[in-house]
Chains A and B, each alone.
Chain A
Amino acid sequence: MKNIGNLKEFACTPDRFQGGHRLCPGCAHGMIVREVVNATDDDLVVSTATGCLEVCSAIYPYTSWDVSWLHIGFENAAAGISGAEAMYKALSRKNKLYNEDRNVKFVAFGGDGGTYDIGFQSLSGATERGHDFLYVCLDNEGYMNTGGQRSSSTPIGAHTTTSPRGRVSYGEKHRKKDLTMIMAAHGAPYVATAVPGSKHWKDLAAKAAKALSTVGPTFINALSPCTTEWKFKPEDTVEIGDLAVETCMFPLYEIEDGHKLTINYRPKNKVPVEEYLSKQGRFSHLFKPENKWLIEEIQKEVDRYWEYLQRREEAGV
Chain B
Amino acid sequence: MATPKEMMTTWDKIQPGAVLPSFEDPEKKIRSKFNSYNYKVADWRVEKPVFNRDLCIDCDFCWVSCPDSCFIVEEVENKRGKKQAKIVGINYNLCKGCAVCVEVCPTPIKSLLMFPEFVDNDEALKQWPKKD
Interface residues of A (CB under 8 A from B): 7-12, 15, 17-31, 34-35, 57-58, 60-67, 196-198, 201, 227, 234-239
Contact = CB atoms under 8 A, between A and B. Distances in A.
Contacts of A34: 64, 66-67, 69
B107 interface: no
Interface in B6-23: 7, 18, 20, 22-23
A62 B2 CA distance: 12
Interface in B50-86: 58-61, 63-70, 73, 75, 78, 82-85
7 contacts: A10-B85, A11-B73, A20-B40, A31-B66, A62-B36, A237-B98, A238-B103
Q: Which 3 A-B pairs have the closest CB atoms?
A: A30-B67, A19-B94, A20-B36
Nearest to A38: B64
Given A11-B73, A61-B3, A61-B34, A26 B84 contact: no
A15 B61 CA distance: 15
Contacts of B60: 7-8, 10-11
Contacts of A28: 67
B63 A62 contact: no
B36 A63 contact: yes
B84 A8 contact: yes
User: Which of A19, A24, A29: most chain B Cβ within 10 A?
Assistant: A19
User: Which of B34, B99, B103: most chain A Cβ within 10 A?
Assistant: B103
Contacts of B104: 197-198, 238
B83 A12 contact: yes
B20 A60 contact: yes
A64 B36 contact: yes
Given A10-B60, A25-B98, A19 B91 contact: yes
Nearest to A30: B67
B67 to A, nearest CB: 3
Contact of A25 (B40, B61, B91, B97): B97
Contact of B64 (A10, A22, A25, A234): A10
A97 to B, nearest CB: 16
A266 B32 CA distance: 45
Given A26-B98, A60-B20, A238-B100, A12 B84 contact: yes
B110 interface: no
Contact of A20 (B59, B93, B98): B93
B69 to A, nearest CB: 4
Given A9-B83, A11-B85, A63 B20 contact: yes
Contacts of B95: 19
Given A11-B87, A198-B104, 17 more contacts: A7-B63, A8-B84, A11-B60, A11-B84, A12-B85, A19-B36, A22-B1, A27-B98, A28-B67, A31-B64, A34-B66, A34-B67, A34-B69, A57-B36, A60-B18, A66-B31, A237-B67
Contacts of B63: 7, 11
A223 B66 CA distance: 16
Interface string B116-131: 0000000000000000
Contact of B34 (A27, A63, A196, A201): A63
A11 B75 CA distance: 9
Nearest to B84: A8
Contacts of B83: 9, 12
